[in-house]
């Protein structure tokens, strides 16, 4: 187990917080630099994919818990995140297109559902 002390200077005060972590590394493997790299790598993932999933796609608020619905929604979110990243589009625009226009989702997946064009904000560059 190890403890990290964080000091944030917001101009008026410098609040300190501590976080506690567990590791399976031995004492020889777990020097301060290595532990800091591991914790930073975790937060890069958390602030990247998970933040987008939670804030933009509302994954934590989703109440779907039965059958295959959670898996289907997770796959749809992953497709939206990958598509937005690949085409450098705002995640919120892709989310709106995929959740409000079933045709946009079907065209993005390459599944013919209905005739018509994909909305402009979801077309590939």
Which residue spans within 8-124 are E strands per DSSP? 16-21
As a whole number of angstroms, the distance between CA 77 and CA 11 comes to: 38
As a whole number of angstroms, the distance between CA 82 and CA 13 comes to: 40
Q: Would you write out the chain's pLDDT as a tens digit for each of its 125 residues?
A: 899 998 887 777 778 889 999 999 998 899 999 999 999 898 887 777 788 998 888 888 888 888 998 898 888 888 888 888 888 989 988 888 887 777 777 777 777 655 656 555 555 54
As a whole number of angstroms, the distance between CA 1 and CA 23 comes to: 6
pLDDT value at position 10? Answer: 77
The residue extents of the domains of the chain are 65-125
Radius of gyration of the chain (CA): 21
pLDDT value at position 85? Answer: 87
pLDDT value at position 125? Answer: 46
Q: Which of 46, 55, 52 is nearest to 78 (CA)?
A: 52
Phi-psi region of 9 (alpha: psi -120 to 50; beta: other; left: phi over 0): beta
pTM of the entire structure? Answer: 0.56
């Amino acid at each position: 187990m190890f403890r990290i002390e964080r000091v944030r200077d917001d101009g008026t005060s410098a609040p300190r917080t501590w976080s506690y972590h567990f590791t399976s590394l031995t004492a020889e493997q777990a020097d301060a630099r290595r532990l800091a790299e591991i914790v930073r790598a975790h937060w890069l993932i958390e602030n990247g994919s998970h933040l987008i999933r939670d804030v933009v796609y509302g994954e934590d608020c989703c109440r779907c818990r039965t059958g295959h619905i959670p898996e289907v929604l997770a796959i749809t979110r992953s497709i939206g995140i990958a598509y937005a990243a690949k085409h450098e589009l705002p995640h919120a625009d892709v989310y709106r297109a995929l959740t409000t226009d079933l045709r946009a989702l079907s065209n993005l997946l390459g599944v013919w559902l209905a005739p018509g064009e994909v909305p402009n904000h979801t077309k590939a560059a």
